[in-house]
């Protein structure tokens, strides 16, 4: 997804590669767009620290918007 398509306050599906319990996996989570920056965007998820993604990470890891 391109940064220009993000809407502040909406939730997006993030698919990322990570290590969970010592095993390399692809993880998914819904994260909320808090603000756009010159080099990317800031997201949040429940009680986790804010998540900063660069433009290239957004294009690689953000896939779809959450619809109710």
Check pLDDT > 80 for residue 68. no
Q: What is the pLDDT of residues 3-61, one digit of tens each?
A: 999 999 999 999 999 898 999 999 899 999 999 999 999 999 988 899 999 999 999 99
At residue 5, φ and ψ (nearest 5 deg) are -90, -10
Residue 65 scores a pLDDT above 90: no
Cα–Cα nearest to 33, from 68, 2, 18, 22: 2
Q: What is the pTM of this model?
A: 0.85
């Amino acid at each position: 997804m391109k940064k220009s398509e993000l809407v502040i306050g909406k939730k997006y599906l993030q698919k990322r590669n990570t290590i969970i319990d010592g095993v390399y996996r692809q993880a998914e989570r819904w994260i909320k767009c808090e603000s756009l920056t010159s080099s990317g965007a800031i997201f949040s998820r429940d009680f986790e620290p804010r998540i900063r993604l660069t433009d290239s990470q957004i294009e690689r890891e953000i896939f779809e918007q959450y619809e109710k």
